[in-house]
Amino acid sequence: MNQSLAHIALVVRDYDEAIDFYVNTLGFTLVEDTYQPEQDKRWVVVKPVGDGNTSLLLARASTTHQQDYIGDQAGGRVFLFLRTDDFWRDYNRYVERGVEFVREPKEAPYGIVAVFRDLYGNLWDLVQFADARG
């Protein structure tokens, strides 16, 4: 058996502001942005630069219930883990671009990590693992 995660749906308020943040601030690649008229929504996929296969599906909230979860998809816990091959390069670039870090860089036995907020408040780890665990 061979399985893997293809997309992780991230509930967003607006497609264009989300694309701007993930592409222009975090440096992700816009993989697809296709309008789906039958549902009056867009299929928007972004992914980090590199050889990973998992991507984010930016899913605009379409109900009040979904809007309640924008920025809090994990109940205040770190939700997503962005692995990097050069922590300090990416950390410094994100700081220069105005990304809010809520936990400063910390070295741990597993690697170096800092926690940042995306534009909606979801928490992310920026992490460079010291071994192959990530």
Angle at 78 between CA 27 and CA 63, to 5 degrees: 80
Tell me: do 60 and 86 sit in the same domain: no
Q: Identify the bridge partners of residue 47 per DSSP, sorted by sequence position.
A: 29
Q: Which of 70, 89, 120 represents a domain boundary (last residue)? A: 70
Tell me: do 15 and 58 sit in the same domain: yes
Tell me: do 86 and 133 sit in the same domain: yes
pTM of the model: 0.92
The domain tally of the chain equals 2
Model confidence over 123-134: pLDDT tens digits?
A: 999 999 998 665
Tell me: do 63 and 79 sit in the same domain: no
Q: Let me know: does 122 contact 10? Beta carbons within 8 Å.
A: yes
pLDDT at 17: 98
Tell me: do 45 and 97 sit in the same domain: no
User: What is the spatial distance between Cα 98 and Cα 95, in angstroms, rounded to a whole number?
Assistant: 5
Tell me: do 47 and 96 sit in the same domain: no
pLDDT at 133: 62
Tell me: do 9 and 46 sit in the same domain: yes
Q: Let me know: does 84 contact 92? Beta carbons within 8 Å.
A: no
Model confidence over 9-43: pLDDT tens digits?
A: 999 999 999 999 999 999 999 999 999 999 999 99
Model confidence over 71-89: pLDDT tens digits?
A: 999 999 999 999 999 999 9
Tell me: do 32 and 84 sit in the same domain: no
Q: Which of 52, 70, 88 represents a domain boundary (last residue)? A: 70
- Ranges assigned E (strand) in the chain: 7-12, 29-36, 41-47, 55-60, 78-83, 101-108, 111-117, 123-129
Q: Which of 70, 87, 116 represents a domain boundary (last residue)? A: 70
Tell me: do 117 and 133 sit in the same domain: yes
In the chain, the percentage of residues whose pLDDT exceeds 90 is 93
Tell me: do 55 and 86 sit in the same domain: no
Burial 8-26 (b: 16+ CB within 10 A, else e): eebbbeebeebbebbeeeb
Domain range spanning residue 38? Answer: 1-70
**CATH number of 57's domain:** 3.10.180.10
